[in-house]
Amino acid sequence: MSNLVQVSKNNDIAVITINNPPVNALSPGVPEGISEAIDQINADNSVRAAVVIGSGRTFIAGADIKEFEKITSGQNQRGVGLLPLLLKIEDSRKPVVMAIHGTAFGGGLEVAMAGHYRVASPDGQVGQPEVKLGIIPGAGGTQRLPRLAGVAKAVEMCAGGNPVKAPEAAKIGIIDRVIEGDLLSGAVAFAREIAGKAAPKTRERNEKLGTAEQNQPIFTAARENASKKQRNMMAPQAAIHAVEYATRLPFDQGCEMEARLFKECLFSDQSKALIHVFFGEREVAKVPDIPKETPIIPVNSVAVVGAGTMGGGIAMVFANAGIPVLLKEADQAALDRGLATIQKNYANSVKRGRFTQEYVDQRLKLIKPTLSYDDFGNVDMVVEAVFEGMALKKEVFKELDRVCKQGAILASNTSTLNIDEIAASTSRPQAVIGTHFFSPANVMRLLEIVRGKATGKDVIATCMQLSKKLGKVGVLVGNCRGFVGNRMFHPYRREAQFLVEEGATVEAVDKALYDFGMAMGPLATGDLAGLDVGWRIRKEYRHLEKPGVRQPMAEDRLCEQGRYGQKTGAGWYKYDENRRAIPDPEVERLVRQGAAEANIPQRQISAQEIVDRCIYALVNEGARILEEGFALRSIDIDIIYLNGYGFPAYRGGPMKYADTVGLKKVYEQIQEFHRQHGETWEPAPLLKRLAEESKTFADFNKEKSASA
């Protein structure tokens, strides 16, 4: 028998143990091993019932996701092929009890549902998360789950993808018993109780399938919900269809329809993109020159300097992770303002039911306000979030160097300044790093971790690990202006403005990108962040602009009119008291007037051109960043865009999107834009090379790791 599955005996009960670390995925060998084990127990007269359990940290966490890439590329002709195994388990003459701890996800839950009974530890979870990978359950999950949990719950789980904890799973019928204490002994005792009794087959249980009248409103509501919350995504809709088939067709035919929908989803670009994201989120945690064994600096207390927009949010992030924070301000009024904002944000979270009052009280106790550096000698890490200005940052870091203990991490939240220059104001540049949180810091998942020339490997490893503890996705980036995210965002938003200046309406630009899948259009995003921020930066760096290169002008004009965006009630749009954006003819007038003065010809612009201009501007800059080494891999750029800029996950990020379109096509279009619009569209040399060699950004990652 395969060494991935073992059979042992506890007197009359067989124990089938799956042993495929780290998560007991159903990789090749595991289904075969389970199948052989079922044969073995049925052939053994001394066995009255069997328990299936996972060794290590979990029951089966699903099909092996790596196999999907092999199936779609033709390397695996066998498919997932679990259906016959599940029928075999269900038809076993000896009853099979599935013993669940950790996560019985996807194919794991499908295996569990083919068992005759399921028991679970209190912390066990069950779920059909396939939609998060752009697919649907492919081994009868959409057919068996409604038979156990009812149609409404099955639709919710298969289309939403969120897991259910064991106690709730027991209430809704997925789990037969929650076992306190040792799971294996409890499962064996349970197996002894049911041995010899008639064993229920899930596929034959039709009592929860409801009637057409009962089910119709469930499916209609689920479809509407999915079209809003999982906009443009095909898998949730397919999952709902598949559950609907369970209510209309006999089990076998339902499984056939499920298999058809599963295959359509699996071969879609959406699924390939979401699988890229699944592995990408894990890959970004790995830094090639920083080994796993790098020592981690314990971070048990921190200080934040500056309690403004970012500092206040960052203090909340640490407090939410249970880490005490000293919050320092320059004067009492600013400190009071900062604390009031923190309290208001927490109060809103209580109102919305996100946190309880008790939780909030505990978190607030962890934040200690101060006006001095007196207690900084004790903290393990400082995050500086004062105004953006090099002179001030240097002054603060000089002071931190004086007061902080050796070994403490000195981090800056700067969004544009040079980390090496900041580090040079201290006697310990190895301790200095950038931790670039995104606004609102307590909400946004992205954390760009900026590596300076001298930053210590232990400091980097600690910040990468800490990001996970803080509930963030930490991505290591290099020290260039705007780092990765904002450096790319600049040409993206610049194109959005150019398009308006060439004749597109503000709403048409935003709508094209929203329909593409962005959480918000680029102009509305500017209004949310504040147009004055970029205006100030542009004024400061105007001397760096190359003469003769086209610059956008509309946003400067808006700012000159005091239209800074939502905070002043007007920017690209007007805003009502509920912050609803209303198109404003005054903006249209201002823009057209500016275009006439600058002799910009006006024309009709298609949604496709809007998308190509904005998204390819991201891609072209991303390619430069990649080649210059400021991002480690193209996936790092993708993960930044998904978590910090509202890029749709089902497109995999800007670089994956370009790979999907084909770099040759992207390059040719950029060449065309270059001819039409001049220097801003100079193609990135890496993009040119990869396009000419018919390669992808993913190939570049492979080239890079092979040469490392």
Tell me the sheet residues that pair with 165.
125
Whether 130 and 245 have beta carbons less than 8 Å apart is answered as: no
Neighbours of 604 (CB within 10 A): 9
Nearest Cα residue to 141 out of 103, 163, 111: 111
Closer to ligand NAI by CB, 187 or 307: give it. 307
- Residues near ligand 3HC (CB under 6 A), total: 24
CB of 337 to ligand 3HC, least distance (A): 38
Interhelix angle for 654-661 vs 663-677, to 10°? 100
Q: How far apart are CA 323 and CA 469, in angstroms?
A: 10
439, interface contact from ligand NAI, ligand 3HC, none, CB < 5-8 Å by kind: ligand NAI
305 lies in the site for ligand NAI, by CB under 6 A: yes
Q: Applying CB under 6 A, which of residues 10, 65, 79, 418 lies at the interface with ligand 3HC?
A: 65
Closer to ligand NAI by CB, 261 or 310: give it. 310
Coil, strand or helix: which one is 144? Answer: helix
User: Nearest to ligand NAI by Cβ — which residue?
Assistant: 308
Going by their DSSP bridges, the two strands 432-437 and 446-451 should be labelled as antiparallel
Whether 15 and 96 have beta carbons less than 8 Å apart is answered as: no
Nearest Cα residue to 647 out of 271, 274, 127: 274
Q: Residue 116 is which amino acid?
A: H
Nearest Cα residue to 226 out of 214, 239, 215, 213: 239
Closer to ligand 3HC by CB, 163 or 338: give it. 163
Q: How far apart are CA 651 and CA 274, in angstroms?
A: 7
379, interface contact from ligand NAI, ligand 3HC, none, CB < 5-8 Å by kind: none
Q: Which of residues 327-356 bind ligand NAI (CB under 6 A)?
A: 328-330, 334
525 lies in the site for ligand NAI, by CB under 6 A: no
386, interface contact from ligand NAI, ligand 3HC, none, CB < 5-8 Å by kind: ligand NAI
Distances 305 to 56, 339, 383, 389, 422 between C-alpha atoms, Å:
43, 13, 6, 14, 15
Q: How far apart are CA 442 and CA 312, in angstroms?
A: 9
414, interface contact from ligand 3HC, ligand NAI, none, CB < 5-8 Å by kind: ligand NAI
554, interface contact from ligand NAI, ligand 3HC, none, CB < 5-8 Å by kind: none
> What percentage of the chain's residues is helix, strand, coil (to nearest 5)?
55, 10, 35
267 lies in the site for ligand NAI, by CB under 6 A: no
Nearest Cα residue to 488 out of 609, 639, 665: 639
308 lies in the site for ligand NAI, by CB under 6 A: yes
Q: Applying CB under 6 A, which of residues 16, 135, 386, 570 lies at the interface with ligand NAI?
A: 386
Q: Which of residues 641-670 bind ligand NAI (CB under 6 A)?
A: none
433, interface contact from ligand 3HC, ligand NAI, none, CB < 5-8 Å by kind: none
Q: How far apart are CA 377 and CA 564, in angstroms?
A: 40
69 lies in the site for ligand NAI, by CB under 6 A: no
501 lies in the site for ligand 3HC, by CB under 6 A: no
Q: Is 617 exposed, middle or buried (0-12, 13-18, 19+ CB in 10 A)?
A: buried
- Residues near ligand NAI (CB under 6 A), total: 23
Going by their DSSP bridges, the two strands 103-105 and 432-437 should be labelled as unpaired
Q: Applying CB under 6 A, which of residues 33, 106, 134, 306 lies at the interface with ligand NAI?
A: 306
66 lies in the site for ligand 3HC, by CB under 6 A: yes
Binding to ligand NAI by CB under 6 A, coded x per residue (else -) over 435-474, reads -xx-x-----------------------------------
565 lies in the site for ligand 3HC, by CB under 6 A: no
Nearest Cα residue to 622 out of 701, 554, 675, 546: 701
Coil, strand or helix: which one is 576? Answer: coil
Sheet containing 164-165: which strands, arranged edge to edge? 103-105, 125-127, 164-165
Q: Which of residues 240-299 bind ligand 3HC (CB under 6 A)?
A: 282
Q: How far apart are CA 308 and CA 331, in angstroms?
A: 12
Q: Is 166 exposed, middle or buried (0-12, 13-18, 19+ CB in 10 A)?
A: buried
Q: What is the DSSP letter of 134?
A: T
Q: Residue 364 is which amino acid?
A: L
Q: Which of 32, 69, 90, 110 is catalytic?
A: 110
Q: Applying CB under 6 A, which of residues 214, 387, 519, 540 lies at the interface with ligand NAI?
A: 387
Q: Applying CB under 6 A, which of residues 307, 523, 605, 690 lies at the interface with ligand NAI?
A: 307
Q: Applying CB under 6 A, which of residues 38, 41, 49, 63 lies at the interface with ligand 3HC?
A: 63
22, interface contact from ligand NAI, ligand 3HC, none, CB < 5-8 Å by kind: ligand 3HC
Coil, strand or helix: which one is 565? Answer: strand
Going by their DSSP bridges, the two strands 302-305 and 125-127 should be labelled as unpaired
Closer to ligand NAI by CB, 396 or 687: give it. 396
Q: Which of 32, 36, 67, 130 is catalytic?
A: 130
Closer to ligand NAI by CB, 164 or 307: give it. 307
541, interface contact from ligand NAI, ligand 3HC, none, CB < 5-8 Å by kind: none
80, interface contact from ligand 3HC, ligand NAI, none, CB < 5-8 Å by kind: ligand 3HC
CB of 65 to ligand 3HC, least distance (A): 4
Whether 562 and 529 have beta carbons less than 8 Å apart is answered as: no
Whether 509 and 523 have beta carbons less than 8 Å apart is answered as: yes
In the residue annotation, 692 being an active-site residue is answered as no
Closer to ligand 3HC by CB, 68 or 667: give it. 68
25, interface contact from ligand 3HC, ligand NAI, none, CB < 5-8 Å by kind: ligand 3HC
61 lies in the site for ligand 3HC, by CB under 6 A: yes
Residues 6+ apart with CB under 8 A from 572: 506, 523, 524, 526, 527, 531, 558, 563, 565, 584, 587
Binding part of the chain for ligand NAI, among 101-109, 167-175, 432-440, 647-655 by CB under 6 A, reads 432-440
In the residue annotation, 204 being an active-site residue is answered as no
Which residues of this protein are in contact with ligand NAI, per CB under 6 A? 305-311, 328-330, 334, 385-388, 392, 396, 413-415, 436-437, 439
Give me the active site residues, please: 110, 130
